[in-house]
Amino acid sequence: MLDPARPALVLAPMDGVTDAPMRALQGAAGAYTYAVSEFLRVSQTVPPKSAFYRRVPELLTAGRTATGMPVQVQLLGGDAGLMAESAARAHELGAAAIDINFGCPAPTVNRHDGGATLLKYPARIRAIVRAVRAAVPVAIPVSAKLRLGWDCADSVYENAEMAAEGGATWLTVHARTRTAGYAPPVFWGHVGRVRERLGIPVVANGDIWTLADFRRCREETGCRHFMLGRGGLADPHLPRQVAAELGLTAAPNVPHGHDWSAYLRNLVALTPARDGVRPEQAVGPLKQWLRLAAGRGTFARFDSVKRARSVEELFAALDSPA
């Protein structure tokens, strides 16, 4: 996982997007140091073993994707006791590191005492991190993912301090408030000041869409550790470019353009067959990825594939002459 002495590039958890097949695909190029799983919701009870394996099947393969990338288990919930028990269960099932989600802005999650709603209660952040930290062996890292605050960016300083007091090994900070959602701008300067105040590593996250964005983020935050989410999917060349800038890999030979047909076929190949999954359901993640790329200008033919009702229809449209 994260080594404070070395730069790192982390694949962000994106609910419904960076599932196990996507994590395996993104890990294949060797750009990412590790990935964080989609959150496992801890609500009324500790999730059963089956829920852990469904959400993080990498637990069955020594905590690594099919392509060898380590995966950290992320938990989301507001009850410190249940979160601690869930962390202990995750460790028993093979989790090598635990992340706590205090950043999810989804209204449904926030209404049920999870994600970014905890940013309004700094003491609870400390209590949850402390409980999780105490529930797993010292050798198991416990990290926390934060936003700058609920509606005030200055809240990040107290919240980050509470997480650190609770025993967080490192923090990931998304440089927006919850009320800002994903709307620009991001405020990387706050992330840098959190890093300066704390004695633990800070992973910078938010709006790194290009190599130039990464360089500005690094300059403004002073961070050595970075998390890519939507930007790394919208431009599949970007993770390798950032990894090279960090000295993690050799400088890549970046081709002109993107072979989206190949990317998607590789994702399909890594997706296990599941009984009862209709073709129109299987095509959803592929179109979701292409929609994200289209929004950033790296895929120009979304209109020709958006009505595809199956994987076969999507590839037929994708492979047809423009």
Catalytic positions are: 104
Three-state secondary-structure class, residue 154:
coil
Phi then psi for 175, rounded to 5 degrees? -85, 45
Cis link prior to 185 (omega < 30° from 0)?
yes
- First CA to last CA distance, the chain: 43
Q: How far apart are alpha carbons 216 and 223 in whole angstroms?
A: 11
Please spell the DSSP secondary structure of 247-294, one letter per residue: TSSPPP---SS--HHHHHHHHHHHSPP-TT--HHHHTHHHHHHHHHHH
The residue behind tokens 């130039």 is 212
Q: Provide the strand spans (E) within the chain.
A: 8-11, 34-36, 40-41, 71-76, 98-102, 142-149, 170-177, 202-205, 225-228
Q: Report yes or no: 135 and 80 within 8 Å, Cβ to Cβ.
A: no
Q: Report yes or no: 52 and 91 within 8 Å, Cβ to Cβ.
A: no
Q: Report yes or no: 31 and 242 within 8 Å, Cβ to Cβ.
A: yes
Phi then psi for 148, rounded to 5 degrees? -65, -25
Residue 276 region by backbone torsions, left for phi larger than 0, else alpha for psi between -120 and 50, else beta: left
Q: Report yes or no: 94 and 52 within 8 Å, Cβ to Cβ.
A: no
Q: Which two tokens stand for residue 305?
A: 């594939």
Phi then psi for 146, rounded to 5 degrees? -125, 160
